[in-house]
Amino acid sequence: MQKREVILVINPGSTSTKIAVFEDETKVLSETLRHPDEDLAAFPWIMDQVEYRKAHIEQFLAEKGVALGSLTCVMSRGGQLPPCPSGAFEITKEMVDFVYTLKVAPHASNTGCVIAYEIARAYGIPAYVYDPITVDELSPVARITGLPELPKQSRGHALNTHAMARQCARNVMKKPVEECTFIVVHLGGGCSVWLIDKGYSVDMYGDDDAGFCPERCGRLQAVELIKLCYSGQYTLEQLSKRLRGGSGLKLLLGTTDMREVEARIAAGDEYAALVHEAFTYNIAKSIGDLATVVFGKVDRIILTGGIAYSKMVTDRITARVGWIAPVELMPGEYEMEALAQGGLRVLRGQETPKSIDWNP
């Protein structure tokens, strides 16, 4: 009889930590642990939150009767690691040390690596990240820019987009993902647009060069951004936070909730209507850009993430790009399931963890 695997999944966000427990493929427990702003204000740096978040996880699991000693693996969303291919990576002391070196605009998922490592080490079990936000499988031609010091890099929602590509290949196309070409759009607080061709994300737009989104600025004109950087209005840290977390819909309309934006439109707010159209316009433009890479030969355009529940958003995007390929609506985020399934494949010997070059 195959050994039963009990997997703890950890996915930290800016003001919450999502956790789940899976027994093989079945999710038996799931919760979003909220972290009030007044609690987080006590931590000057995101990595100072590790013990705070870990204590909340352990307390919740104890209350639900989940013994940490029953776990066989811990999976975490991967943070700002060096560029790497898609797949599983063991959380090592080198990985933990690396995320502690990241001082400018650190991502909340960096804490997950450390929490998973500490829990796993205490119980002598493995811990992995899967499809971290720095998955980089860009083709050589996609990396070239006109400024050699700044080649294009891949950063974004690799975990959810690759999972949706695999699911669409299996359930819709009825063939392996390695035989398909998808453009996958993650629509959330940040947005990213991925060209996944034959199983590899060969080109993409991250949430700082796709269209603007609820909390991100999107693509900007370089010279004007340089002027702002040297204007004296902001420090590096202040401007980084403004571009990633304090811009987009939040700055334009004072909300990050697309439902509120659409309620304003229904009430006659013309500016909200213009901003909403600009949001879908820019996302559609990124889709069109990536379609040219494969000469328009796209099997499906997949819209996923929380904002993909909005019919107004998906209808407007579909109207602009539906001529390229059929549009599949796969709303929501499946990061917890994707992490658990990745860990399960490793534990069952169906997939081998990969290595990261710590001195790229």
Residues 6+ apart with CB under 8 A from 288: 320, 321, 324
Q: pLDDT per residue over 94-150, tens digit each?
A: 999 999 998 867 888 999 999 999 999 999 999 999 999 899 999 999 999 999 999
Surface-to-core class of residue 335, CB atoms within 10 Å of its CB (0-12 exposed, 13-18 middle, 19+ buried): buried
Pair of tokens at residue 352:
């081998």
Residue 359 reports pLDDT greater than 90: no
pLDDT value at residue 1: 57
3-class secondary-structure state, position 225: helix
Through-space distance between the first and last CA atoms of the chain, rounded to whole angstroms: 43
pTM: 0.89
Q: pLDDT category, 179, cuts 50, 70, 90?
A: very high
pLDDT value at residue 333: 84
Identify the structural domains of the chain with CATH numbers, from first to last: 6-134+336-347 (3.30.420.40), 140-325 (3.30.420.40)
Helix then strand count (H, E) for the chain reads 13, 11
DSSP string, 90-114: E--HHHHHHHTT--SS--THHHHHH
Q: pLDDT category, 360, cuts 50, 70, 90?
A: low
Pair of tokens at residue 38:
């007044």
Pair of tokens at residue 41:
């204000």
Which whole number is the average pLDDT over 82-105? 91
**Cα separation of 290 and 295, whole Å?**
9
% the chain with pLDDT above 70: 99
pLDDT value at residue 64: 97
Which whole number is the average pLDDT over 227-253? 93
**Cα separation of 32 and 48, whole Å?**
20
Tokens 């990050």 locate to: 256
DSSP string, 164-193: HHHHHIIIII-S-GGG-EEEEEEESSSEEE
Q: What is the mean pLDDT of the chain?
A: 94
Q: pLDDT per residue over 253-304, tens digit each?
A: 999 999 999 999 999 999 999 999 999 999 999 999 999 999 999 999 999 9
**Cα separation of 171 and 164, whole Å?**
10
Residues 6+ apart with CB under 8 A from 35: 15, 16, 17, 49, 52, 53, 56
Q: pLDDT category, 13, cuts 50, 70, 90?
A: confident
